[in-house]
């Protein structure tokens, strides 16, 4: 369940009508690690296991390939409110020592980061050896749009999807939060052990620095956004070896970093 029906009063010029609107659900999820509170995320229910797996991966808390044991400790109206994750102490990553404060909102990936050094992402630059067609990128966006069922119903959700190097859709997830949607897609591929085949990350909104860092940690070389990119996102993409593309709509796009990743066809 990702939407609920709410009553509203619609006004067009001077005419008023009572309507029933489909709204995307936003609900808190407390994530416990070994029965200790770690963080609270505001998310759209469904795919909670993928969300948790992707978040813990991005935060350098758990990067082992073994499945995680998740237990719902509290729920309301069949929506989980508290989920506990069991992780052996020797498998806890360094990110666990840098706990966020207990509330991370769905629209802000860096909320709860206490020091500037916590924003650093370390690792070798991504080395891309292939080039890809911009025409195919537009085709991939069409696929994503067609599969955004929650957005079609509510108009209030974001989507993220991942394609492989052959432009084949691997996963798509929706959520009220842009970062949550990305975490869900990465988590889905981690669970399926297919993350190494990820090549394109498409997002329905804007791109901030943290979405770039999530893609870098997942070793995804190309990010494509329907909307704008922040200055820090572009700086990070250049440093990390990621091709960052924004304003991808109406057969147009703007490439902000590493344009050599794309073939210079008629749409570039």
Has residue 264 got a pLDDT over 80?
Answer: no
For every residue of 226-250, DSSP letters joined together read: SS-B-HHHHHHHHHHT-EEEEEEET
Angle of CA points 203, 207, 211, to nearest 5°? 85
Q: State yes or no: 248 annotated in a binding site.
A: yes
**The predicted structure's pLDDT at residue 265:** 56
How distant, in Å, are the alpha carbons of 21, 95, 127, 195 from that of 71? Answer: 33, 22, 39, 24
Active-site residues, by number, are: 108
Main-chain phi, psi angles of 71, to 5 degrees:
-130, 125
Indicate the pTM of the whole model: 0.88
Q: pLDDT tens across 83-137, in order? A: 999 999 999 998 887 665 444 555 565 555 545 566 667 778 898 778 888 889 9
Cβ-contact 209, 197 below 8 angstroms: no
Q: State yes or no: 100 annotated in a binding site.
A: no
**The predicted structure's pLDDT at residue 87:** 96
Q: pLDDT tens across 222-256, in order? A: 999 999 999 889 999 999 999 999 999 888 899 99
Identify the CATH number of the domain defined by range 134-261. Answer: 3.40.140.10
Q: pLDDT tens across 28-68, in order? A: 999 999 999 998 999 999 999 999 999 999 999 999 999 99
Measured over the CA atoms of residue 37, residue 38, residue 39 and residue 40, the dihedral's sign is negative
Q: Which residue ranges make up each domain of the chain? A: 27-118, 134-261
Average the pLDDT over 74-85 and give the result.
93
Q: State yes or no: 249 annotated in a binding site.
A: yes
Q: State yes or no: 247 annotated in a binding site.
A: yes
Separation between Cα atoms, residue 118 and residue 25, nearest integer Å? 30
């Amino acid at each position: 369940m990702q939407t609920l029906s709410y009553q509203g009063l619609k006004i067009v010029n001077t005419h008023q009508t009572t309507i029933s609107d489909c709204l995307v659900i936003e609900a808190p999820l407390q994530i416990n690690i070994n029965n200790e509170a770690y963080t609270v995320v505001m998310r759209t229910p469904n795919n909670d296991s993928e969300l948790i797996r992707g978040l813990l991966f991005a935060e350098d808390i758990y990067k082992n390939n073994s499945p995680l044991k998740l237990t719902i400790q509290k729920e309301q109206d069949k929506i989980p409110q508290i989920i506990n994750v069991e992780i052996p102490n020797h498998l806890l990553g360094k990110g666990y020592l840098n706990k966020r404060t207990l509330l991370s909102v769905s629209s802000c990936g860096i909320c709860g980061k206490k020091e500037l050094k916590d924003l650093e992402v370390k690792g070798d630059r991504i080395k891309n050896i292939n080039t890809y067609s911009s025409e195919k990128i537009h085709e991939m966006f069409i696929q994503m749009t067609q599969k955004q069922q929650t957005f079609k119903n509510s108009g209030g959700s974001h989507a993220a999807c991942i394609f492989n190097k052959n432009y084949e859709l691997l996963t798509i997830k929706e959520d009220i939060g842009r970062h949550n949607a990305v975490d869900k897609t990465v988590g889905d591929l981690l669970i399926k052990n297919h993350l190494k085949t990820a090549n394109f990350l498409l997002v329905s909104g804007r791109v901030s620095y943290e979405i770039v860092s999530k893609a870098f940690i997942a070793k995804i070389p190309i990010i494509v956004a329907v909307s704008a990119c922040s200055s820090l996102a572009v700086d990070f993409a250049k440093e990390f070896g990621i091709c960052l593309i924004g304003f991808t709509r109406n057969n147009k796009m703007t490439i902000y970093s590493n344009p050599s990743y794309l073939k210079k066809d008629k749409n570039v």
